[in-house]
Amino acid sequence: MFELKRQDKNLEKRVCAELGYEMNFGETFRRDVVVDGKMQRGLLVTQNFPGYRYVLCPTSVLANAIPLHIPYIATGPKHAWVVKHDDFKRYRTDIISIVSAWPRAKISFNLADAAAIKEVTSKRTLWPKPLELYEFPEMFGRNIVGTEGDEWKRHRNIAYPAFSEPNNKLVWNESVRITMDMIENVWKDAPEVTIEHAAEMTLSLTLFVISSAGFGHKISFAEDHDVPSGHTMSFKESLHVVCVDMIFTAVVPSWLSWISERTRRHAQAVKELRSYMQEMIDERRTSDTKSDCDDLFRNLLDANSGELDRSESRLSDSELIGNIFVFLLAGHETSAHTLCFALGLLALYPEEQEAAYQNIQSVQGERSLPTYEDMNSLDYVLAVFYETLRLYPPVGSIVKKASEDSTLRTLNTETKEPITVPVPKDSIVVLYANGLHYNPRYWEDPHAFKPSRFLRDWPREAFVPFSTGPRSCVGRRFSETESIAILAVILSRYKVEVKQEPQFAGETFEERKARLLSSKQGLTLTPTRVPLVFKKRD
């Protein structure tokens, strides 16, 4: 397959010896594929640091199109989630290397070491984002996610003020209102409600919250078919279609959108949503009075029209729309899926659900609904949310790139001896949340669901569901506020149980847990099917 290079017999012997131990694969494969000239150079510059060797580059389209992990060929998109910390345990170090040969020689490092991750995230210029991997979020325009350096600072200085304390309060109030709307007008205060897949419910809840607290459009569960003049879809419908079929944006190019009715509808929804956002910008500019609403979009427009540093320029309309789309993407699916996993976990562990309920009752007292001022006291509910994020991080891999030759430090997890890892320029460095969150160095009994671990001192640097450092998620408080409010309202009124289904009558607890919390890899970690029953409390 590849010509064997024989310039370095010692290297060949070392590599084959290591691969023979690591892979126990055939001599033909090692000679024809692995010990290729390109891969030789990769192994040399990394000093053959322990890890995996693949033909296909893990970030290549072809490698990610292969659904399963194929040893020595491709990682597969689910490999990181399936193995969690096992790879690091195998190599006895919390940094491992991946050297691949095609379509070009590529070196990457997976990090499950909290100190090394802090080193990377605290030095943005040395470890920037590889922007070529962040083209998808720019479908609506340049934004805070897909930029670096001075351009990123310009977006940050305008985007960050949008997430204000008044907006947080609006998020809370709208989350409570929308959840009560569901309970009263969809569930009809029924004594028992069966949901075939909880993600469908949580996706609707977070969609309505982002519509209201993000765009200033209050919508309810009642169907609204009004379509304004000049549009072919209502705002609610366009927002819903864009969110539900977000994956099409990443994998279906615009020139291929005609391929099916569903892709055509998604393309139309994208066009409609962009038009709605442009109209909102135009309306804000022509309005003589400032709105007293604190939704993200208006806050972003206000920040963009305010006083700026002389060295900065305002965001264009395309950039404004690009940023609000990123807020939509980050704030909708990730929160919805985390809430779905949380409800599934609470159904499996009734003692943890009871602890969260008692926390809500002690804070809420005789009042019918929790208030924003209660949020900081709902510590067990927050602990449930955090533990869910630890076990099921929405984004398992956060990618950076070495801008120059550098080194990182870790240790041998058996001998505790320090290890220096050579990181060549242009190497990909992956902050491996899946490995970090299950690393027994930081988390006792890491596979167990134990929300109480977040009620005492806990390793904050080993918890990265919102990333960490200067480029951590700007919407973290939005997500926390929304999720705690929704959980508090539901749990105060209903007990959550796993739906009993005859075909699963004989399963063990571990089998039930695996079934209920199974997932697939979409834009974020996505629950497959979480059937639940909500029973009204006395």
* Known binding positions: 473
CA nearest neighbour of 428 among 98, 125, 149? 98
Both structure tokens of 117? 């991750």
Distance CA 76, CA 502 (A): 34
Distance CA 13, CA 27 (A): 12
Residue stretches of the annotated binding site for heme: 473
User: CA 509 → CA 379, 513, 516, distances in Å?
Assistant: 28, 6, 10
Distance CA 476, CA 466 (A): 7
Q: Which residues of 316-325 are buried (b: 16+ CB within 10 A; e: fewer)?
A: eeebbbbbbb
Amino acid at 61: V
For the chain, helix, strand, coil in percent to 5 are 55, 15, 35
Both structure tokens of 289? 């009075």
CA nearest neighbour of 114 among 437, 444, 451, 446? 437
Residue 163's region, left for phi above 0, alpha for psi from -120 to 50, else beta, is: beta
Alpha-helix runs per DSSP H in 53-164: 61-65, 79-83, 86-91, 114-122, 149-159
User: CA 254 → CA 137, 168, 271, 352, 511, distances in Å?
Assistant: 14, 36, 11, 47, 42
Q: How many CB atoms lie within 10 A of CB 420?
A: 11
User: CA 293 → CA 132, 164, 286, distances in Å?
Assistant: 37, 12, 17
Q: Which residues are registered as beta bridge partners of 4?
A: 36
Both structure tokens of 534? 């909500």
Q: Which residues are registered as beta bridge partners of 111?
A: 95, 431
The answer to whether 349 and 417 are in contact (CB under 8 A) is no
Q: Which residues are registered as beta bridge partners of 195?
A: 532
The answer to whether 485 and 383 are in contact (CB under 8 A) is no
